[in-house]
Structure formats: C-alpha cells, structure tokens
C-alpha cells in the first residue's frame, strides 16, 4: 500500500516537472539561442548598422553638424558686401524756407523743400578693416564645426560599445540557460538513480527528498536564467530601435587578439579619441571668441556706396550717387569689451585643464581594459582545463554513488563544481570579448 502511494506521488511530481520543462522549452524556442523566427543570424556589425540608422542621439549629433556648417557659411558671408534698400515718406507741418535780406529789395524767403516728399534709396557696404573680428569669427565657426564632427564620432563609438555590451549580454544569458538546462538534466538523472536505489531498499528515503529539493532548485535557476535572457533580449531590441518582442538569432563572437602594444594604444588614443578632439576644438572656439570680443575695441572701417532718389519738385536733380569711407571707433565702453575677452580666455583655459585631465583618464582606461583582456583570457584558459576535470569528477561521483560508496551530498557537490566550471568558462569568454571592445573604445578605434 505504501509502495503504491509512493508511486502515485512520484508520478504526480514527474507530471509537474514535465509541465515545467515544456514551459521552459517553449519559452526557450521563442527567446533562446535560436530565437527561431529570424531567417539569418545577426552579427555584431549588422547590429551596429541597425542601431546607428535610427538612433536619436546620432540624429541630434548630425543636426548639430548641420548647424555648425551653417554657422561657418554665415561667418564667411561677413566678408561679402551687403546690399540694402530703403524707402521713406516725409510730411512736414510747413515747408522749410530760407530768408535773406537784400540791400535794395528787402527780405526774401525761398522754399527749398516740399512740404511732402518720398525717398527711395539703395546702399552697399564693404568692410575694409575690422581689427581681425571677421577672421576670428570664421575661425571660431570652423572650430565649432570640427567639434560637432568629433562629437558625432564620439556618440557613434559610445553607441557601438553599448550595443556590443547588450549583444554579449544576450549571448551570456543564452549560455546560462544552456548550463541551467544541463544542470536540470543532470540532477534529474541523479534523482532517477536515487529512486531506483530506494526501490531496492539500498538508500534511505531522505536521499530522494534531497534529490527532489536539489532538482527543484535547479528548475528555479533555469527559470531565472530564462527570465534574464528575456530581459537581455528586450534591451538588445530597444537599442536596435525595434519592437521589444522581435525574434532574432545572434552569431557567437570569439575573442580577437590585440596586436598593438600598450604604448601604441596610448598614442592612438591621444590621436584618435573623439572626446579629446572635441575639447581641443572647443578651446579653440573660446580663444577665437576672445579675439572677436577684443576686436570690438579697434577701429571698424568700411566703404559704402549709396544711391538716393527724392520725389521733390524743388530740387533740379532728384537722383544722388555717393561713395564714402566710414570709421567707427569705440574708444571707451566702461571695460565691457576687455572683460568679455578675459571671460572667454578663462573659459578656454578651463577647457584645456579638463583636456589634460581627460588624457590621464584615457591612459588609465586603456591600462584597465588591457589588464581586463589579459585576465579574461587567462581565466578562459584555466576554465577550459577545469571543464574536463569537473565532468570527469561528476561521472566518477555518480558511479561511486551507484556502488554505494558515497552519499548524495558528494554527487551534489560534484555537480555544483561542474556547473561552476561551465559558468566560469562562459563568463571568461564573454568578458574577454567585451574587454577587447572596451580596449578599442578606450583607444578610439572602435
């Protein structure tokens, strides 16, 4: 009677376990390693292309480039003569007159302007000397354009690294699911061994209970791993600007060797890091703005040509042509111009200080990424050796358990070591790939 009840309990447990397995299997088909709805596996390069094509940060950076380009054209246009039209209608309360006294005829009043008249005019002005204001303004605009271009490159590199991290996280999560499935399979096999030995009366019932508890924990770990895979897939889809439930398949990535030396990477970073270039150009912009401000205290000379037409009945010639050279020199403005120049100079000095600080930070980033690559590859080598040993250790433990030489505790420990070895290898592999990409990003070559 007890044996029949035990069989029913085992059957119910197996039914629940089968349902759980089917649920995880179906979820894995949708989100897992295959993500079977995709026709062609995606590579990291295609992921970058898709992410960059619709990224709002890239669009904003490109708009800033267009704005800077327009600023350059506007600054250069200051050298071109301007042309202006003007019209005015004048109405006086009384026409102006000139009164003279003649010795014989007495006083004489002459009207020299109509009480009401209309003026039309056109003028053009060419700047001859501006104290370097226009040249400095053009140089500032060109530096701003270069800064916008460098900022776009910096944004692209940062997005590529973020997408790469999400790509690798999906691969890592897929590996975790596979390891978790293997863990469940191994513990389920051990539970069958325990159940067979229990039926033969060779082990106590608590051995089966221990196996059930361990198997339930493994199934929970599998569900958690599957949940992490779903989250990683959603984040990856979000970065690629597509629906969060889009199915896909990813090509695995193998670690690439680093061929440059540490000093070469340092040199490349100083030459190619976009954020470093951005600070250089921004310092130039501020220095040129200081020159523009100081130029306002110098003479401003221009050549002006004017045509003026009067609708005036009194004048014999209503059309006037004139050319003149004008000079404006603001000798004193209370120190406003000088203070503005000093303001820009101090701001430029602040940017240069941040630039030097960034150089030191870049060197640190390169060395940290270099060490991470080296450490991850050594971890990968050691973990590869541990895998074979852990698998052999588990096989030996299970055989000894079937022979009654050890308890289940040693089997569980051997299984734990095997799972840990697989996790160590997967993490070392993916950490190595990510560290290599981080090193390229730090060197400005991603």
Checking if the pLDDT of 104 tops 90, the result is no
Cα separation, 355 vs 351, in Å, equals 6
pLDDT in tens, 140-159: 999 999 999 999 999 999 99
Checking if the pLDDT of 315 tops 90, the result is no
Distances (CA, A) of 195 to 4, 16, 199, 268, 408: 14, 17, 6, 64, 12
**pLDDT (0 to 100) of residue 23:** 44
pLDDT in tens, 117-134: 888 999 999 999 999 999
Checking if the pLDDT of 3 tops 50, the result is no
Report the CATH fold assignment for 88-129+298-329.
Outer membrane efflux proteins (OEP) (2.20.200)
**pLDDT (0 to 100) of residue 311:** 81
> Would you call 354 exposed, middle or buried from its count of C-beta atoms within 10 A (0-12, 13-18, 19+)?
middle
Cα separation, 131 vs 116, in Å, equals 43
Q: What is the dihedral of CA 36, 40, 41, 47, to 10 degrees?
A: -120
Query: Which pTM does this prediction carry?
Result: 0.78
| Helix axes 56-76 and 133-199, enclosed angle (nearest 10) | 170
Q: Please give the average per-residue pLDDT across 407-425, as a whole number.
A: 92
Which of these ranges, 9-18, 73-82, 286-295, 312-321, has the smallest mean pLDDT?
Answer: 9-18
pLDDT in tens, 196-214: 988 988 888 888 999 999 9
Distances (CA, A) of 346 to 22, 126, 290, 340, 359: 68, 33, 10, 10, 20
**pLDDT (0 to 100) of residue 16:** 46
Whether the Cβ atoms of residue 161 and residue 124 lie closer than 8 Å to each other: no
Cα separation, 47 vs 234, in Å, equals 14
- Give the start-to-end residue ranges of the domains of the chain: 2-80+131-297+333-443, 88-129+298-329
CATH number of 2-80+131-297+333-443: 1.20.1600.10
Checking if the pLDDT of 74 tops 80, the result is yes
Cα separation, 258 vs 443, in Å, equals 12
Checking if the pLDDT of 76 tops 50, the result is yes
Q: Please give the average per-residue pLDDT across 225-250, as a whole number.
A: 94
Cα separation, 248 vs 170, in Å, equals 11
Cα separation, 386 vs 389, in Å, equals 5
Distances (CA, A) of 294 to 182, 326, 392: 74, 20, 80
């Amino acid at each position: 009677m007890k044996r029949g009840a035990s069989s029913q309990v085992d059957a119910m447990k197996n039914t629940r376990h089968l349902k759980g397995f089917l649920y995880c299997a179906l979820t894995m088909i949708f989100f897992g390693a295959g993500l079977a709805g995709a026709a062609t596996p995606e590579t990291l390069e295609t992921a970058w292309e898709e992410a960059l094509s619709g990224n709002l940060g890239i669009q904003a950076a490109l708009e800033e480039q267009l704005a800077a380009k327009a600023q350059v054209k506007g600054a250069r246009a200051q050298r071109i003569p301007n042309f202006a039209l003007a019209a005015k209608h004048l109405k006086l309360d009384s026409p102006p007159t000139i009164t003279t006294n003649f010795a014989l005829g007495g006083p004489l009043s002459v009207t020299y302007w109509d009480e009401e008249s209309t003026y039309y005019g056109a003028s053009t002005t060419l700047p001859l000397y501006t104290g370097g204001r226009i040249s400095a303004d053009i140089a500032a605009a060109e530096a701003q354009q270069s800064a916008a271009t460098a900022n776009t490159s910096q944004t692209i590199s940062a997005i590529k690294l973020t997408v790469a991290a999400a790509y690798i996280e999906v691969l890592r999560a897929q590996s975790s699911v596979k390891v978790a499935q293997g863990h469940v399979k191994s513990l389920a096999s051990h539970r069958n061994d325990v159940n067979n030995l229990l039926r033969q009366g060779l082990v106590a019932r608590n051995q089966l209970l221990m196996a059930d508890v361990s198997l339930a924990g493994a199934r929970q770990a599998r569900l958690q791993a599957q949940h992490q895979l779903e989250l990683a897939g959603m984040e990856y889809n979000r970065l690629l600007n597509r629906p969060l439930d889009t199915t896909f398949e990813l090509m695995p990535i193998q670690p690439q060797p680093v061929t440059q030396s540490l000093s070469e990477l340092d040199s490349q970073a100083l030459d190619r890091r976009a954020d470093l270039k951005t600070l250089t150009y921004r310092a130039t912009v501020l220095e040129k703005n200081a020159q523009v401000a100081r130029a306002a205290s110098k003479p401003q000379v221009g050549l002006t040509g004017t045509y003026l037409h009067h609708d005036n009945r009194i004048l014999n010639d209503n059309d006037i042509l004139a050319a003149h050279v004008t000079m404006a020199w603001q000798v004193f403005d209370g120190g406003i111009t000088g203070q503005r120049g000093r303001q820009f100079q101090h701001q430029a000095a602040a940017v240069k200080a941040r630039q030097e600080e960034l150089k030191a930070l870049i060197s640190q980033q390169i060395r940290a990424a270099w060490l991470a690559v080296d450490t991850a590859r050594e971890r990968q080598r050691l973990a590869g050796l541990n895998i074979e040993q852990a698998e052999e250790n588990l096989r030996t433990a299970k055989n000894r358990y079937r022979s009654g030489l050890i308890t289940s505790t040693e089997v569980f420990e051997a299984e734990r070591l095997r799972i840990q070895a697989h996790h160590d290898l997967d993490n070392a592999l993916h950490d190595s790939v990510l560290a290599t990409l981080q090193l390229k990003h730090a060197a400005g070559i991603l």
